[in-house]
């Protein structure tokens, strides 16, 4: 079952991070999406104006966002939604490990809602990015 959010956390709960200067990056976001702290992100790899921008991870996306690429560290807007127009939005993302985050602080795509799907995504975050997902205490 998908998690319903009424108010998102202000920051991702990072339990361990080797070096913030190594593990974090500044990233540009796709416009018109909600970006709560802890959102798992993909990156657009398809040629075009949005290439290289991060957006919500979507297992069905065909623009590159089907692969996990980072986790949003801080919430940017009170309602979490990046405006459709305006200046570029640059944010801090957890891009690589070694790092550990709590499972409860992650915001996943709504289609990733079973224990098996979450475990598979957790394994992907560890294998691809070096980010370990720890169970809730």
Q: What is the pLDDT along the chain (137 residues), one digit of tens a residue?
A: 444 344 445 677 788 888 888 999 999 999 888 889 999 999 999 999 999 999 999 999 999 999 999 999 987 666 667 777 777 788 999 999 999 999 999 999 999 999 999 999 999 999 999 999 999 76
38 CB contacts (<8 Å, ≥6 apart)? Answer: 8, 9, 12, 13, 71, 72, 101, 105, 106, 107
Burial (CB < 10 A; 0-12, 13-18, 19+), residue 53, is buried
Domain ranges of the chain: 14-134
Query: Span 14-134: which CATH code?
Result: 2.40.300.10
Amino acid 79: pLDDT: 65
The residue whose two tokens read 């975050």 is 125
The model carries a pTM of 0.87
């Amino acid at each position: 079952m998908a998690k319903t959010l009424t108010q998102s956390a202000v920051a991702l709960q990072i339990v361990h991070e080797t070096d913030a200067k190594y593990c974090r990056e500044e990233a540009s976001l796709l416009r018109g999406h909600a970006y709560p702290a802890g959102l798992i992100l993909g990156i657009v790899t398809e040629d075009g104006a949005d290439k290289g921008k991060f957006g919500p991870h979507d297992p069905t996306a065909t623009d590159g966002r089907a692969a996990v690429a980072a986790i949003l560290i801080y919430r940017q807007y009170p309602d979490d939604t990046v405006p459709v127009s305006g200046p570029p939005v640059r944010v801090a993302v957890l891009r690589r490990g070694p790092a550990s985050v709590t499972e409860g602080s992650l915001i996943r795509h709504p289609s990733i809602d079973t224990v098996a799907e979450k475990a598979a995504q957790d394994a992907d975050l560890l294998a691809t990015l070096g980010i370990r997902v720890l169970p809730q205490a």
